[in-house]
A and B are shown apart, each in its own frame.
Chain A
Amino acid sequence: MQGGADIVVTGRVADPSLFLAPMMHEFGWRADDFAKLGAGSGLGHLLECGAQVTGGYFADPGFKDVPNPWDLAFPIAEVESDGSAVIAKVVGTGGAINAMTVKEQMLYEVHDPANYITPDVVVDFTTAAIEEAGPDRMRVSAISGKPRTPTLKVSMGCMEGFIGEDMFFYAGPGALRRAKLAKQILEERFRIVNLKADDLRIDFLGLNAIHGEATPSDAPEPYEVAVRVAARCKTREEAMKVGREIDGMAVSGVAMTGKRVPHQDRTREIIGVWSTLVPREQVPHAISWYES
């Protein structure tokens, strides 16, 4: 960046690195000044999800209200050379910046808040101080850092087979009892057609499709229910059995079954992600120039 680069090519970095780099450049922080790198990466973590610190992914009416949530602003960090900053946004935009939005984003995707591992530094959020510095302005200071780990995380894509997925619908009085019979019919049908699935879910969207087994047993019965079926199989042919059996539910299933016209994207190939750590020295950096 000191050479006036237009494009910076990095090694293994994480999201906050993109914010840390200009701070290091501007303030002359050394790559082994882990206290500063921790502070800078912590601020980068607050910024890396855009509006998630300015009122996005936050509003809950009556509990956590956000003004004009359809006009959210990206966050601005006014960073000082000591690694503290005021998190702000352009005046007149929607959204909110307060202690709650900052705390939520500080812990977002974090495991141990005293040891948030990035390729550059281990960030410690448990030393941080958050205080109001004006309307929609929060001062964040004293995020600290510890030496980076000797390893880097590598994520590999793995062919994980195919997912077949579709849904159909019930509404009105008795919607749930019809949905339950439909589930039973499908389970028997999958047995009859010998569906070979590594994983299978038949959920009632509107009741338990999101929280699954965490759904309270006394949850109220919904007026409308979608039966959502998904199976992960080794081959496309197996996964297609899901759509084929659900097509039959329109004419051979339960009374008053609502259904979409069959569409093409009910079977899709999936790439899973498998992660592990490797020693840093096994990841050398080199740049080759080619000109023509």
Chain B
Amino acid sequence: MQGKLKVKLERVAHVRSGDKGNTSNIAVIAYHDEFYPLLKEQLTAARFKAFYRDAIKGEVTRHAADNLAALNFVAEGALGGGVSRSLSLDNYGKALSAAILGFEVEVPEQYGNLLRGA
């Protein structure tokens, strides 16, 4: 039986967020193709939404871009009512993607040498 490593998402994928009105999109991109199926299985839209708790008020939709080894999460109601009227300090939600880097992912030990960072 192959062992599993529990690591933060930051060692497995990189992220970027963008804004449209009151909706934020957070792209989660695997550092290696080997990691992508793990993300697809473990980082579901429901878990993503639960991880952000009430910081995302509306629905979360997950779009898969297999060719980019990337998942794009579209989070409605994540920007405090919209960029220009929001009381958020980070009006555009450009730092919002960073939170998901703390999501815990299980990685087979054989991929341990592919992990980024310490």
**A interface residues (Cβ-Cβ under 8 A, vs B):** 57-58, 60, 62-64, 100, 103-114, 125-130, 160, 163, 165, 199-201, 203, 205, 209-216, 228, 230-232, 270-273, 275
Contact = CB atoms under 8 A, between A and B. Distances in A.
Task: Determine which residue in A62, A214, A270 has the highest number of CB atoms from chain B within 10 A of its CB, and name it.
Answer: A214
A64 B16 CA distance: 12
Given A104-B29, A214-B53, A111 B14 contact: no
Given A104-B14, A111-B74, A126-B65, A201 B87 contact: yes
Contacts of A111: 20, 23, 25, 61, 63, 72, 74
A210 B87 contact: no
Given A107-B68, A111-B63, A213-B52, 11 more contacts: A100-B14, A107-B27, A108-B16, A112-B74, A114-B65, A126-B68, A199-B81, A213-B54, A214-B96, A228-B89, A232-B85
Interface string B39-55: 00000000000011111
Contacts of B95: 210-211
A109 B24 CA distance: 8
Contacts of B69: 103
Given A62-B118, A108-B18, A273 B53 contact: no
Interface in B1-41: 10, 14, 16, 18-21, 23, 25, 27, 29, 31
Interface of B: 10, 14, 16, 18-21, 23, 25, 27, 29, 31, 51-56, 61, 63, 65-70, 72, 74, 80-85, 87-90, 94-96, 98-99, 102, 116-118
A126 B63 CA distance: 10
Contacts of B25: 107-111
B14 A231 contact: no
Contacts of B19: 109
Nearest to A203: B89
A212 B117 CA distance: 26
Nearest to A127: B67
Contact of B16 (A104, A113, A232): A104
A251 to B, nearest CB: 26
A214 B116 contact: no
B84 A103 contact: no
B27 A104 contact: yes
Contacts of B29: 100, 103-104, 107
A230 B87 contact: yes
Task: Determine which residue in B66, B89, B94 has the highest number of CB atoms from chain A within 10 A of its CB, and name it.
Answer: B89
A129 B92 CA distance: 29
Nearest to B52: A214
B84 A273 contact: yes
B54 A110 contact: no
